[in-house]
Amino acid sequence: MTRDTTGLIGSFRRAGQGQVFAFFDRLPAESQARLLSEAAEIDLGEVDRLVRTLVAEGASRTVDLEGLSPAPYERLPSHGGDPAAWSRAKAAGETALRSGRVAAFTVAGGQGTRLGYDGPKGTFPVTPVLRRSLFQVFAWKILAAGRRFGRPLHWFIMTSHQNHAQTEAFFEEHGHFGLDRARVHFFRQGRMPAVDFSGKILLETEGSLALSPDGHGGSLRALERSGALDLMASEGIDTLSYFQVDNPLVRCVDAAFIGWHLTRGSEMSSKTVPKAYPEEKLGHFCVRGGELVVIEYSDLPLALQRERDPSTGALRYEAGSIAIHVIDREFIQRMARGADGLPFHRADKKISTVDADGREVRPGKANGVKFELFVFDALPSARRPVVVETSRADDFSPVKNAEGVDSPATCRADQLRQFARWIRSVGASVPTDSTGLPEAPLEVSPLFGYDEGSFAESWSRLGAKPAVADGLCLEAPPL
């Protein structure tokens, strides 16, 4: 038997979590060692606190809506915003990008259970014609932005224990998509044990714990723990452009958004789109007690979600959260080191486990609780947070589900519509249906154009303009 040098087993027993070692004596030595090392990751005090506050009977599951009001936000010029203020923001963002202060940051540690794809979600073939991966789309947008601003960007990618090796191997296999590999940084997020409804830590097998990633909010402490923040400081990076791995439309580094963040002296800024309809499953930017908060769709009563402004007819709580942020490095440090950190949320899930005899159990309904941190919970602690409107068609079409809304099919269609709009904007004709979906297959490499402006520049440099009617793939123009 492996020696329990740290007294770990005793501490689990004293905490009422002795079941974790129920099969320990019959495990081979290497499994014992693995279980001990997983157990050593667990903060038993934290688990106990979470069980008392989130799982125990009587634990409050309601969100405080007292004094809630919709959050103000900076509107796009096309929606009543001040064009001059937007131009100033864009110029400030461009200056920051030229000076190398900004890095891209992707959270890619999720489990992607709804999509049901086998492999890290970032490797999912997402583009409509060439089936390029999510990671390739981001990599090329980041490469293109680095070329445009004359400063190659650093890119930080948060993985999970489960997908870390596969993610690194994918980048390796693709030559880091032409990026300088010394500027692509992978680090793992933390993980948390799942518990049953009585608060007992679950085993996944006789010799391993049911551990899962600690949520995208875990990114703040993982950035700190991994040394990524120190690296940023040494590289003169003070601003992180945060986005999720599932949204290929995202402007990975958006000068105007970065500029709003910097000129306002914001510590954490957020993009918003007006909700398409009241029941749309987006979080809502709100103000509570003078602080900016995101209230999830499941926590805001439907009556409030449906409320409209009597004069304009717009939804009162229209500012939807699309999980795109700019975050200040020192703020992340403060949040990661601060005593109160982010609050955990409870998610009831089906968790594969073992029964008292060690037999595998695959539950048909939720049998336990996972604990997750959400990055937007940092907003109330941020100084001068700013919310900035963006156009959904140019920034947001996530791949979440295998079918239906937010699926590969809807995302491909949104990419096609975007390519068709860009091609139209330079005066070429593109046959489309009434929703703007082109009739022929189109794909634009992010190295040709990653937004309307860069697309138009590359297009203007083409000698003979290509025909569009039968389909078109535009690759990188010669440098």
Q: Which residues bind ligand UTP (CB under 6 A)?
A: 107-114, 121, 158, 189, 213-216, 218, 244-246, 400
Cβ neighbours of 46 (radius 10 Å): 13
- Cβ proximity to ligand UTP, 32 vs 133, nearer residue: 133
3-state secondary structure of 195: strand
- Cβ proximity to ligand UTP, 315 vs 326, nearer residue: 326
Closest approach, Cβ 41 to ligand UTP, in A, equals 15
Chain position whose Cβ is nearest to ligand UTP: 110
What's the sign of the alpha-carbon dihedral 383, 386, 392, 394? Answer: negative
Closest approach, Cβ 140 to ligand UTP, in A, equals 18
3-state secondary structure of 455: helix
Bridge-partner residues for 294, per DSSP?
Answer: 285
Q: Can you read off the two tokens belonging to residue 383?
A: 């100084």
- Cβ proximity to ligand UTP, 189 vs 454, nearer residue: 189
- Cβ proximity to ligand UTP, 78 vs 113, nearer residue: 113
DSSP string covering 143-164, please? HHHHHHHTSPPPEEEEE-TTTH
Q: String of b and e for 159-171 (b: at least 16 CB within 10 Å)? A: bbbbbbeebeebb
Q: Residue 155 — φ and ψ, nearest 5°?
A: -130, 120
Q: Say if residues 406 and 398 touch (Cβ distance below 8 Å).
A: yes
Q: Can you read off the two tokens belonging to residue 301?
A: 């009563």
Closest approach, Cβ 213 to ligand UTP, in A, equals 3
Amino acid identity of 301?
P
Half-sphere exposure of 347 (CA within 13 A, CB side): 16
Local structure of residue 51 (DSSP, 8 states)? I
Closest approach, Cβ 325 to ligand UTP, in A, equals 12
Helix (H) or strand (E) holding 322: strand 319-328
Closest approach, Cβ 45 to ligand UTP, in A, equals 21
Closest approach, Cβ 219 to ligand UTP, in A, equals 7
- Cβ proximity to ligand UTP, 134 vs 262, nearer residue: 134
Closest approach, Cβ 451 to ligand UTP, in A, equals 21
Closest approach, Cβ 272 to ligand UTP, in A, equals 17
- Cβ proximity to ligand UTP, 317 vs 344, nearer residue: 344
Cα 221 → chain centroid: 15
Closest approach, Cβ 215 to ligand UTP, in A, equals 4
Cα 146 → chain centroid: 22
- Cβ proximity to ligand UTP, 101 vs 185, nearer residue: 185
Cβ neighbours of 237 (radius 10 Å): 19
- Cβ proximity to ligand UTP, 70 vs 122, nearer residue: 122
- Cβ proximity to ligand UTP, 47 vs 447, nearer residue: 47
Q: Say if residues 431 and 438 touch (Cβ distance below 8 Å).
A: yes
Q: Can you read off the two tokens belonging to residue 114?
A: 């709804």
